[in-house]
C-alpha cells in the first residue's frame, strides 16, 4: 500500500477513506499527533512495517486552536503591559521625589523667615535708640527705615512662594540695600562716644549680630536644598516629568556682593 496524505479535494473525506481502507486490511490506529501549526492527524501502521502519517486541518474555533493562540499571545500582552506600566511608575517616582525636595527647601526658607522677622523688629528699636544722639543724621535714619520696609515687603512675597525667581530676586536686592544702610549707620555711630556707651545700643548690636549669624546659617541650608532640588529636576529624563507637572526652577537666596555677606559689625567698646 502506498503512503497517502490528508487534505485532498474533500478535506477530511480523504482521511476517512484512508482509515476505512486500513481498517479493512485489519490495521488499527495506534497514535495521534498534533502539528506545531495547529493541525491534527493520526499515524497508522502498515503491514510492511512502515507508518503512514495523515494530517487534517483543525478548525480555528476548536478548543485546541484557541488554547494554542491564547498561549502565544500571553508574552505579547505582558510585554505591552510592561511598556505602558514602567514609564507610568517611573513618572510617579520622579514626581514624588520632586515634591519631597520642594517641601524641603520651603521648610528651610521658613527658618530664614523667622530670623528675618526678628531682625526687622529690631531695626525700629535701633533707630529709636540712635536718633536722640544722631540728630544730624536724619537722612541716614530715614534710609534705614525705607530699606527695612522694602525688605519686609519682599520677604512677605517670598514667604508666600519660596524659591520663586522674581520674588527671590527682589528679596536679594532689598536685603543688599538694607545691609548697606545698616553698615553706614554703624559706621556713623562710631563718632558718638555717648551712643557707643549706651546700654540699649549695646544690647541691640548684640541681638542684630546674633540674628545675622542665624540668617547666614539658615540661608546656607536653604541654598543647599534649592541646589539639590534644581539638580534633580534638571536631570534627564526627570526634566520631562518636571516640565509636564509644573515643577519650576527655584532661586537661591544670595546677597548682592561678597562684602554684604558679612553681618554688619560695630564695636562700642
> What is the pLDDT, as a whole number, of residue 82?
77
Report d(CA 188, CA 206) in Å as an integer.
17
Domain architecture of the chain: domains with CATH: 12-58 (no CATH), 102-261 (1.20.1440.20)
H/E run at residue 21:
helix 12-24
pTM over 0.85, yes/no: no
Whether 212 contacts 266, CB under 8 Å: no
Question: Residue 5: which residues within 8 A CB-CB, separation 6 or more?
Answer: 14, 54, 55
Tens-of-pLDDT digits for all 269 residues of the chain?
444 444 444 444 554 555 455 444 444 444 444 444 444 455 555 555 555 555 444 555 556 555 555 567 778 878 777 788 888 998 999 999 999 999 999 999 999 999 999 999 999 999 999 988 887 888 999 999 999 999 999 999 999 999 999 999 999 999 999 999 999 999 998 888 888 888 888 899 899 999 999 999 999 999 999 999 999 999 999 999 999 999 999 999 987 654 444 545 544 44
Whether 268 contacts 196, CB under 8 Å: yes
Q: What is the 3-state secondary structure (H, E, C) of 214-227?
A: HHHHHHHHHHHHHH
Which whole-number Å values give the CA distances from 260 to 27, 97, 159, 257, in the listed order? 108, 34, 22, 5
Task: Give the 3-state secondary structure of residue 195.
Answer: helix
Report d(CA 227, CA 102) in Å as an integer.
11
Grid coordinates standing for 68?
A: 494554542
> What is the pLDDT, as a whole number, of residue 67?
57
Question: Residue 192: which residues within 8 A CB-CB, separation 6 or more?
Answer: 130, 133, 134
- Does the bond joining 237 to the residue before it have cis omega, within 30 degrees of 0? yes
> What is the pLDDT, as a whole number, of residue 138?
87
Question: Residue 160: which residues within 8 A CB-CB, separation 6 or more?
Answer: 167
- DSSP secondary-structure letter at 163? T
Q: What are phi and psi of 237, to 5 degrees?
A: -95, 15
Q: Which of 264, 250, 49, 62 is nearest to 169 (CA)?
A: 250
Report d(CA 263, CA 217) in Å as an integer.
12
Give the residues across from 39 on adjacent strands.
57
Amino acid at each position: 500500500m502506498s503512503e497517502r496524505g490528508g487534505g485532498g479535494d474533500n478535506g477530511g473525506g480523504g482521511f476517512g477513506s484512508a482509515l476505512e481502507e486500513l481498517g479493512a486490511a485489519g490495521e488499527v490506529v495506534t497514535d495521534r499527533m498534533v502539528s506545531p501549526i495547529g493541525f491534527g492527524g493520526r499515524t497508522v501502521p502498515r503491514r510492511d512495517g512502515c507508518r503512514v502519517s495523515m494530517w487534517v486541518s483543525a478548525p480555528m474555533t476548536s478548543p485546541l486552536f484557541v488554547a494554542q493562540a491564547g498561549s502565544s499571545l500571553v508574552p505579547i500582552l505582558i510585554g505591552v503591559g510592561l511598556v505602558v506600566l514602567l514609564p507610568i511608575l517611573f513618572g510617579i517616582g520622579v514626581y514624588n521625589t520632586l515634591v519631597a525636595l520642594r517641601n524641603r527647601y520651603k521648610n528651610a526658607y521658613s527658618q530664614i523667615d523667622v530670623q528675618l522677622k526678628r531682625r526687622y523688629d529690631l531695626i525700629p528699636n535701633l533707630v529709636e535708640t540712635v536718633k536722640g544722639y544722631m540728630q544730624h543724621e536724619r537722612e541716614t535714619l530715614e534710609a534705614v527705615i525705607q530699606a527695612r520696609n522694602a525688605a519686609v515687603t519682599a520677604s512677605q512675597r517670598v514667604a508666600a512662594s519660596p524659591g520663586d525667581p522674581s520674588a527671590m530676586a527682589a528679596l536679594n536686592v532689598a536685603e543688599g540695600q538694607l545691609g548697606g544702610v545698616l553698615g553706614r549707620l554703624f559706621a556713623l555711630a562710631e563718632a558718638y562716644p555717648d551712643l557707643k556707651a549706651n546700654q540699649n545700643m549695646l544690647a541691640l548690636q548684640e541681638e542684630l549680630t546674633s540674628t545675622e549669624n542665624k540668617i547666614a546659617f539658615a540661608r546656607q541650608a536653604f541654598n543647599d536644598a534649592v541646589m539639590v532640588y534644581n539638580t534633580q529636576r534638571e536631570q534627564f529624563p526627570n526634566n520631562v516629568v518636571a516640565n509636564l507637572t509644573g515643577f519650576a526652577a527655584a532661586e537661591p537666596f544670595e546677597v548682592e556682593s561678597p562684602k554684604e555677606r558679612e553681618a554688619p559689625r560695630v564695636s562700642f567698646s
